Amino acid sequence: MVEQFPPAWHFRPKPEWQDYNGHMGDYAFGIAFTEALDEFLFAVGFDREYFPRTGDAIFTLETHLTFLREIRTDEDLTIVTTLVDVDDKRIHVFQYLKNIDGAEMATYEAMLIHVRRSESSKAVPTAMPAEINQKLAGVLKQARRLPRPKQLGASIGFQRHNKRDS
């Protein structure tokens, strides 16, 4: 079981992540969320030795990033990862990026898939090891007690109210 639930990753944006507006650049959010997600995966059993030992991998199928507030590169930040769902091959996560006061600054939703890689063929979706899947099921049971994130499953698009808007 993950010792701290939900797992948290603390960081300060790197100076090179600053954009021309003096804020954390859009691309840097992806880096930060991915690093926090890696820590979550390590905590449930996909440690650094797992991938080279097995030849398996976790691939990202889809993500959705929501920017809620501007972030300066001198801020101390935390990313909290929570599990939304899991089956034998897929992992659905939701992450919150918060400042030191606990204000939500951004959210990130991702769908991941466990694959088997080989030199002779492309990656093929395959079941995760049972012990990791059991750990994830325990994390999911705890996560289901948390409130549903309002950005979960959000889509992007315009709201059209009348023909003049089109």
The DSSP result for 15-49, as a single string, is GGGB-TTSBB-HHHHHHHHHHHHHHHHHHHT--TT
- CA–CA distance, 126 with 82 (Å, rounded to integer): 23
What are the beta bridge partners of residue 98? 78, 104
Going by CATH, does the domain composed of 8-145 fall within 1.10.1060.10? no
Asked if 7 and 142 touch (Cβ cutoff 8 Å), the reply is no
Exposed (0-12), middle (13-18) or buried (19+): which is 96, by Cβ within 10 Å? buried
What is the pTM for the complete model shown? 0.88
Q: DSSP states of 76-122 as a string?
A: -EEEEEEEEEE-SSEEEEEEEEEETT--EEEEEEEEEEEEE--SSS-
Asked if 95 and 108 touch (Cβ cutoff 8 Å), the reply is yes
What does the pLDDT profile of the chain (166 residues) look like in tens digits? 344 556 699 999 999 999 998 899 999 999 999 999 999 999 999 988 998 999 899 999 999 999 999 998 899 999 999 999 999 999 999 999 999 999 999 999 999 999 998 776 788 999 999 999 999 999 999 888 888 888 888 888 887 777 665 5
Integer-rounded Cα Rg, in Å, for the chain is 18
